[in-house]
Amino acid sequence: MEIISQGEVRFRIWAPSSAGMRLRIEGRDDRQMTPAGDGWFELVVHGVYPGARYSFVLPGEKTAPDPASRAQVSGTESPSLVVDPLAYAWKNSGWRGRPWHEAVFYELHVGTFTAEGTFRAAAERLQELAELGITAIELMPVAAFYGERGWGYDGVLQYAPHTAYGDPDDMKHFIDTAHGLGMMVVLDVVYNHFGIYGNYLTHYAPDFFDPERGTPWGPAPDFGRQPTRDFVLENALYWLEEFFIDGLRLDAIDHFVDKPGRTPLLTELGTRVAASFPGREIHLIIEDARNVTGPMELQSDGTRRFVAKWNDDFHHVAHVIATGETAGYYLDFSADPFRLLRRSLAEGFVYQGEPRPTLDGKTVGEPSGHLPPSAFVNFLQNHDQIGNRAFGERLRSTTDPRLVDALLAVLLLSPQVPLLFMGEEFACEQPFVFFCDHPQEVREADYQGRLREARNFGHDADHAADIEGLPDPNDRKTFETSKLDWAAAETPKGRAYRAFVGDLVEARRRFVWPLTARATEMGGRILTQKDGLIAIDWVFDEGKLELRANLTGSSSEVPAVDGRIVHRWPKDATMARTGALELAPYAVCLAAGRHG
């Protein structure tokens, strides 16, 4: 749908498998569309204004929403709405973004971030995040998906914000509010597959998908076909341009498959984004289980098309240290985990070409120490690592909270880009569980799938069916119990923890940002190999960061620092010794200074 002028709209759809297509505008039109070549149909209609409801009608009278719908009347099976993309009056139209090294991420799910579960309600909470020092919001996917509730990774209408969250202007208001508070907004987008339910493309454009390939989650787009390729590329530009989004996090790019002889989709996307938004700070981030470095490598023009990768390695080894869990993929990080944690902090990936036991010895990863620390987004928790547990337990409810505090201090004081999951800033222990709203006939299969998933988190796979009280993902109670309890943030414990996090973020702003702003490589040097201890120096052109941490329950000595200690947790965490520092149990300190 394209507004040509006031009251004049062009409707287009690619339906190569359809003998014809009609356009139905509720209350006024039901007209045959004109073939435009290469499987396209189009029709220009006069007297159509924002708010008009329309659908496409396939032979056999089956109706379908616009695959590029900007808004839906209700769900993905309802009519689409004509939307004026220029109607919203931006208050912060001069916003140009923030430098990447200043990112302190906060991941949130719109539907459970507030009781209302809307963009407007979420916008009301942004002030306190900004006051905490959060500089970047990462939205879990908002593209319209089947049903009322879900995580969003099964979107089928990639251009339309999910109706339950609000309309396009509500989403723009959320972004505008964030910008007014100095915060970037990055959107999680899913191009490796489309959702199964409510996916009408399979009816009239099956060629959109690759018949020889699928994913564990749904049909995979065929990037060898130009209409499919254009749909994805234009969608990325759409969010960045019309919604003023500051960046995109591309989900599971290891499931992208390019056709021989074609420019890789990621390459083309990075090039087009860089060329389309001069003067704006736009940041592209990837998720990729292969630990590849190619997308983040320095280009000939001195820029990086993709600034960072979500670093699951850091999470997995930190989780093993915190909980002792070794089931599922955690097995790969269970042998000498403190050595692996040090390697991740100093070099980026844990696996840089070594065999992984759970992959039958298959080698994974590439050397990563030559990348800047900002090429890695590190986290202790995120939606996947909480919600895919059988009961959605957060880290604090599975281990010693003192160790969690120490690991959070390591996360926020290290030079890599940190990410918090909603509620983590006030020590939330409330579960965040996988939830969905799928058709009735597949709900039992969904439940059985959750039972199988339990094997990755310490439950006996042979007796998974005996897990008592496993939440049913389609039960509305599962969704409701995952809504963030903001009352907990106002308790004495919640306020104290926010102060703890705020102090760490402030230390990061004052002492880490200045040294990492122009860092071109990790520069990490490991100074101790003792179990439970972290002593790493990062040497940059601008100076040196020295992190010392004791992740054990007894006092221990770590190598001394050269620079001035600029942050310590607890406040009396260190005592100087000749040639060493003595750290209290679960203590962390950071020093900064010149090198050489």
| CB burial readout 103-122, b (16+ within 10 A) else e | bbbbbbbbbbbbeebbbbbb
Ramachandran angles phi, psi of 362, nearest 5°: -65, 135
In angstroms and rounded to an integer, the radius of gyration of the C-alpha atoms of the chain is 25
Q: How is residue 401 written in tokens?
A: 């909270």
* Angle between helix 226-242 and 265-276 (nearest 10): 30
CA distance 538 to 536: 7
CA angle 175, 176, 178 (to 5 degrees): 65
251 is catalytic: yes
- Amino acid sitting at position 278: P
Nearest Cα to Cα of residue 425 among 516, 504, 538, 324: 504
Question: How do strand 80-81 and strand 105-108 relate by DSSP bridges?
Answer: unpaired
287 is catalytic: yes
| CB burial readout 287-319, b (16+ within 10 A) else e | bbeebbbebbeeeeeeebbbbbbbbbbbbbbbb
Instruction: Report whether 67 contacts 13 (CB < 8 A).
Output: yes
What DSSP element (H or E) covers 534? strand 533-540
Residues with Cβ within 8 Å of 89's Cβ and at least 6 positions away in sequence, in order, are none
Nearest Cα to Cα of residue 121 among 140, 108, 135: 108
Instruction: Report whether 274 contacts 281 (CB < 8 A).
Output: no
Tokens 């929403």 identify what position?
Answer: 65
Tokens 């200690």 identify what position?
Answer: 565
Residues with Cβ within 8 Å of 172's Cβ and at least 6 positions away in sequence, in order, are 88, 90, 243, 244
* Conformation bin of residue 524: beta by default, left when phi > 0, alpha when psi is -120 to 50: beta
Catalytic residue among 170, 176, 251, 313: 251
Nearest Cα to Cα of residue 289 among 256, 253, 317: 253
Q: Give me the DSSP letters along 110-148.
A: HHHHSSS-SHHHHHTTHHHHHHHT--EEEEPP-EEESSS
Question: How do strand 143-145 and strand 155-161 relate by DSSP bridges?
Answer: antiparallel
DSSP conformational letter for 72 = B
* Angle between helix 312-323 and 337-347 (nearest 10): 150
CA distance 393 to 237: 36
Instruction: Report whether 204 contacts 227 (CB < 8 A).
Output: no
Positive or negative CA dihedral for 444, 446, 449, 451?
negative
Catalytic residue among 138, 169, 287, 332: 287
Catalytic residues: 251, 287
